[in-house]
A and B are shown apart, each in its own frame.
Chain A
Amino acid sequence: MKVTIKSWTGVATWRWIANDENCGICRMSFESTCPECALPGDDCPLVWGVCSHCFHMHCIVKWLNLQPLNKQCPMCRQSWKFNVH
């Protein structure tokens, strides 16, 4: 008797790797969404700054739009730049 694998379908979900539990702006868990969204995941993504702080994209964009001059990270006050991997 011999058993061999012919094909396999692996099922997985994914989660964010963030260095914090909650979004520093809306205080909602990264596992859930920003206050505007209903469905976590792709629809309400996280973004990282070069300062390594992480927020809901919707939250940080809103925040940056409220800063007329110096676009800074709300956590560390360094000027905000998106960290594009």
Chain B
Amino acid sequence: MLRAIGKRDRDIFEEVWPDKRRIVLKLLRQDTVSQREWQDLFFGVHFVCLWDEKGAAKIYDCLQQDIVEFIVQAQSQVQAQRGEQALLATYIVEWRKFFTQSNYLPLPFRQLEQSPQVKPSSSGSSSSASVSASGASTSAAAAAATSSCSGQAGKSGASTSATAGASTSAAAAAASTSASTSSAAAAAVASGSGSTSSSTSTSKKNPTEDSPVRKLMLDSWNKHIFHDIKHRLQESAMKIVHAERNGDAYDAQLVVGVRESYVNLSSNAEDKLEIYRENFEMAYLKATAEFYRLKSAEQQQENGVLAYMKYADLKLREEEVRAKRYLEPSSFNILFYTLVKVLIVDHLNSIIAECPALIRDYETERLNLMFRLMDRVMHGVGVEAMMGDLQRHIMSAGLADMLSASEVITQDSEKYVERLLELFNKFSDLVRNAFNDDPRFLTARDIAFKTVVNDTSVFKMELPTSIANRGVKYTAPESKCPELLANYCDMLLRRTPLSKRLTSEQIDARLRDVLLVLKYVNNKDVFMRYHKVHLTRRLILGTSADSEKEEDIVEWLREVGMPADYVNRLARMFQDIKVSEDLNTQFRTSISRHDAINIKILNAGAWARCSERVSVSLPIELEDYIPDVEEFYKKKHSGRKLQWYHHMSNGTITFVNNFGRYDLDVTTFQMAVLFAWNQRQHDKISYENLRLATELPDPELRRTLWSLVAFPKIKKQILLMEPVAISSPKDFAENTMFYINQEFAIVKNGKSQRRGKLNLIGRLQLSTERSQQEDNQSIVQLRILRTQEAIIKIMKVRKRMNNAALQGELIDILKNMFLPSKKMIKEQLEWLIENKYMRRDDDDINMFIYVA
């Protein structure tokens, strides 16, 4: 050392370096380097830098020269190869060797990092990074250079060469010594070089990464060899991929190797994939697009669109696997985008054109394939087109199906609902199997179902077209579906042949189905009304098949979003019936002789709106009971008075004639009429006298008499009349005579029975003659009120609101009852403005303002 100081004036670099340079060349060639030589290199670099002011720059220049020389040699070797595979193979071998060196050749040159003379020419980022890294690394380098600890240099050499797979003598020597070293500096180097060995790619931070020497090596490689042959490299690699796509033999490792060299070659710390992306990725995308552009056109022409879909699907999957092999993960998205464009988007129209036919033929597998292809297309253009096709198909097929069966299903709500459900299930299956229940297709299905259910071409329910009240002039005809649904419900819940045939579970399932269809019905208020009417009948007549189910369905209706006040009223009806049962028990114990009497006391607000009360002269026996009941009730509930609704009252009578003895279920009106003969069994009584005897109003008497002379589906009627040829209750005249049919008998299987039970009630009249039309009118009336109520409710909160927003909220509030028509909303808005509930903004005619 002293000698070196003494020679200070002389060129220290010239003296020391030639010796060290040999070691550098050995390293580059991957020749065996002894532990001592490795240490000497550290020492030499340190020494030159320390004693020669320009030493660092000199070393750098010299090093550069050597590296370039080495690279040129390598290049000539690679260029000499003719065949693609050989070219790639040679390149990869050379590159790997070189890259390995780039990981540990920089180690001895750490000292250069500190030198201001050796600022790498290009990026500033690497130099600033090297400053921050130098704190830890220089101490290690310095320690190594002074050779105070021989083990650590050997250690770092060992781990890098182990990576390269080339065992140098230094490595062999180090293996034994490294274990004994324990200084802090050694630990720092060990951990540093440890990370070097763990990653040959650039993914992890390694200590040599920011080194100017490493950068020098990579840049030189890039400049001298890579730049010249990268096109040949890419082309060769793409030819291999091409061959692979065509199913020929290939060596995938070659492509992978090239890719790796592209990735590792980058010395840009901020964007490590720059070179890879600009060259390899681009070439790969271009080659892929070109390959499939040709192939896809060819495939489609040769095999047709359906086979082509299979091809595209297969290729997409294949390319997915291939991409994982050949590309960096960052390229996957852009590759798939390119593939989808070439394989699907470019053929979108011809593929979509097949969709309607596939839906028509229920080709679920192919549809599923098409859906999967289309689902890859951005912005859902293809999927939307398929949704449109599905929607159109369900609508037209559904309506056509309904129309073709219209004769049967308009007569029979059971058949109608079953047909409808069959249709729904069919299309739901389609959506599940072909489109995996994708929410977008479920929506399309629902829209189509709505159209089918609310269509008016098969069923029409006329709502009255003229109500003077509140400005409604016209209402559109509506689908009869809600009414039929309610009828079907009734058949399931009442004791009918249908409900007897089915098990409890089957009935439950069908009721659920009804609710499913109900979901699509616009005007649920119609269903509610009919359901309530049916329920009223079942409860009054006690004809429910299963009272538990009755209450279940009320809860289900609540679950599917029926308005709470409606559901509460239904629940109230059940409560009334239960309370009445208790009342009956108490009544019977209080007065022993009234075993036969039942009373049902209803809350006026909860039940189907009863029309005006009808007077009737009751049979004497009943007339006697009435005051007892009223007295009893008064004692139970003070401040209340009973009001009888005899058109709903009913009972069972025993009818005895010469032929036999029969139990007849009859309405109270029928009872009153039949009792007119009790004192004069064989008389013929005129219509007029019957009216006097029963005190029934004319329409009720006519209807009641008609039910006794012409009850449907029985062979022998209980009453006969004169003249016989009367075809409707309207034709009864004042002097039409009625008399008891002494031959009356219940006929079963063509044989008259002596005993038996017969129901003459049929459909219990809940209201008087006029009210069918009144009923429909009241639906409209109620809608008007609900609409007004909802508008006021919204405006009260919002104060100011424009027309579009108001309509939106309005429909949202009312959708569980009915779908208000634009026209009706407009009329009601006008009415409310006229009556000063709200006004229009002076400046904006579409803006409404709430008036308190």
**A77 part of interface (Cβ distance < 8 Å):** no
| 6 interchain residue pairs of minimum CB distance | A8-B651, A41-B603, A85-B638, A11-B648, A9-B598, A40-B605
What string of 1s and 0s marks CB contacts (under 8 Å) between A31-74 and chain B?
Answer: 11100001111110010100000100000000000000000000
Q: Is the CB of A15 within 8 A of B643?
A: yes
Interface residues of B in 595-627 (CB under 8 A from A): 596-607, 610, 619, 621-622, 625-626
**B96 part of interface (Cβ distance < 8 Å):** no
- Give the CA-CA distance A8 to B657 in the complex, in Å: 21
**B633 part of interface (Cβ distance < 8 Å):** yes
Q: Is the CB of A10 within 8 A of B638?
A: no
Interface residues of A in 1-34 (CB under 8 A from B): 1-18, 31-33
Contact of A6 among B603, B605, B642, B653 (CB under 8 A): B653
**B497 part of interface (Cβ distance < 8 Å):** no
Q: Is the CB of A3 within 8 A of B602?
A: no
**B640 part of interface (Cβ distance < 8 Å):** yes
Within the complex, the shortest CB–CB distance from A51 to chain B, in Å, comes to: 15
Q: Is the CB of B639 within 8 A of A46?
A: yes
What string of 1s and 0s marks CB contacts (under 8 Å) between B630-673 and chain A?
Answer: 00010001111111111011111111111000010000100100
Q: Is the CB of A15 within 8 A of B640?
A: yes
Contacts of A12 in B (CB 8 A): 599-602, 642-645
- Give the CA-CA distance A39 to B566 in the complex, in Å: 10
Q: A1-B681, A3-B677, A14-B642 are in contact. Are A9 and B654 (CB under 8 A)?
A: no
Contact of B596 among A1, A6, A18, A31 (CB under 8 A): A6
Q: Is the CB of A10 within 8 A of B644?
A: yes
Size class of the A contact interface (CB-based, 8 Å): 20 to 34
**B675 part of interface (Cβ distance < 8 Å):** yes
- Give the CA-CA distance A46 to B597 in the complex, in Å: 29
**B678 part of interface (Cβ distance < 8 Å):** yes
Q: Is the CB of B596 within 8 A of A38?
A: no
Within the complex, the shortest CB–CB distance from B307 to chain A, in Å, comes to: 65
Q: Is the CB of A1 within 8 A of B656?
A: yes
Q: Is the CB of A4 within 8 A of B604?
A: no
- Give the CA-CA distance A15 to B497 in the complex, in Å: 39
Q: Is the CB of A5 within 8 A of B619?
A: yes
- Give the CA-CA distance A18 to B633 in the complex, in Å: 16
Contacts of B639 in A (CB 8 A): 16-18, 46, 48, 54, 85
- Give the CA-CA distance A54 to B682 in the complex, in Å: 55
**B270 part of interface (Cβ distance < 8 Å):** no
Within the complex, the shortest CB–CB distance from B47 to chain A, in Å, comes to: 100
Closest to B613 in A: A13
Contacts of A42 in B (CB 8 A): 603
Q: Is the CB of B643 within 8 A of A4?
A: no
What residues of chain B have their CB less than 8 Å away from a CB belonging to chain A?
540, 542, 565, 568-569, 572, 596-607, 610, 619, 621-622, 625-626, 629, 633, 637-646, 648-658, 663, 668, 671, 674-675, 677-678, 681-682, 740, 742
Contact of A11 among B572, B602, B606 (CB under 8 A): B602
Within the complex, the shortest CB–CB distance from A31 to chain B, in Å, comes to: 8
Within the complex, the shortest CB–CB distance from B745 to chain A, in Å, comes to: 12
Q: A9-B599, A40-B604, A41-B604 are in contact. List 4 more A-B contacts (CB 8 A).
A: A4-B656, A8-B668, A31-B604, A32-B605
Please, could you name 17 A-B residue pairs with CB atoms under 8 Å apart, sorted by A? A4-B656, A6-B652, A10-B625, A10-B644, A10-B646, A11-B646, A12-B599, A14-B601, A14-B633, A14-B643, A15-B604, A15-B641, A17-B640, A39-B606, A41-B572, A43-B572, A85-B638
- Give the CA-CA distance A32 to B648 in the complex, in Å: 23
Within the complex, the shortest CB–CB distance from B767 to chain A, in Å, comes to: 13
Q: Is the CB of B654 within 8 A of A6?
A: yes
Q: Is the CB of A10 within 8 A of B540?
A: no
- Give the CA-CA distance A5 to B640 in the complex, in Å: 29
Q: A39-B572, A39-B605, A41-B603 are in contact. Are A6 and B640 (CB under 8 A)?
A: no
Q: Is the CB of B606 within 8 A of A7?
A: no
Contacts of A85 in B (CB 8 A): 638-639
Q: Is the CB of A1 within 8 A of B677?
A: yes
- Give the CA-CA distance A33 to B644 in the complex, in Å: 22
Q: Is the CB of A10 within 8 A of B599?
A: yes
Closest to B564 in A: A38
- Give the CA-CA distance A2 to B648 in the complex, in Å: 24
Closest to A32 in B: B605
Within the complex, the shortest CB–CB distance from A77 to chain B, in Å, comes to: 23
- Give the CA-CA distance A7 to B664 in the complex, in Å: 10
Contact of A8 among B565, B596, B677 (CB under 8 A): B596
Within the complex, the shortest CB–CB distance from B528 to chain A, in Å, comes to: 15
- Give the CA-CA distance A41 to B569 in the complex, in Å: 12
Closest to A41 in B: B603
Q: Is the CB of B651 within 8 A of A5?
A: yes
Contacts of A10 in B (CB 8 A): 597-600, 622, 625-626, 629, 644, 646, 649, 668
Contacts of A33 in B (CB 8 A): 605
Contact of B649 among A2, A8, A17 (CB under 8 A): A8
Closest to A45 in B: B639
Q: A2-B678, A42-B603 are in contact. Are A11 and B654 (CB under 8 A)?
A: no
Within the complex, the shortest CB–CB distance from B249 to chain A, in Å, comes to: 83
Q: Is the CB of A14 within 8 A of B637?
A: yes
